[in-house]
Amino acid sequence: MKLIVTVVQDKDAPRLIEDLVGAGFRATKLASTGGFLKEGNTTLLVGVQDDEVDKVLDIVRATCRSREQLVTPLTSSGGAVDACVPYPVEVLVGGATVFVLDVERHVRI
């Protein structure tokens, strides 16, 4: 058995959950925050049999796409003034970060 931990942008989460549930998978949704842009993310936990991992990854690939977005970087209070970028920059956001972990034991109570 595997545990698939998938971190996606909040705007991709509703459709991904709908697609996973529609394909017969159960998902647990956790709110999370990205460290770089300090924006909301959604982390999904999906437990599957070993032979189902590729099907879940295919659904994630089809649902979560990378896109460019203009953001104004936030400066930390301890940062140097000359390190501040006072104008919006274009960054790549979206897509998904996926971890596939072995599960030693699974119990549903």
- CATH number for the domain that contains residue 19: 3.30.70.120
Q: 10-residue block means of pLDDT along the chain (109 residues)?
A: 94 94 96 71 95 97 80 59 66 82 92
Residue 109 belongs to a domain: no
Identity of the residue numbered 33: T
* Predicted structure pTM score: 0.76
d(CA 71, CA 87): 8
**pLDDT at residue 9 in the model:** 87
What pLDDT sits at residue 24?
Answer: 97
66 within a domain of the structure (yes/no):
yes
Whether residue 70 lies inside any domain: the answer is: yes
Cα–Cα separations (whole angstroms), residue 31 to 7, 9, 24, 49, 92:
10, 10, 22, 25, 21
The burial of 21, by beta-carbon neighbours within 10 Å (0-12 exposed, 13-18 middle, 19 or more buried), is given as: exposed
**Number of structural domains found in the chain:** 1
Q: Which domain holds residue 91?
A: 2-102
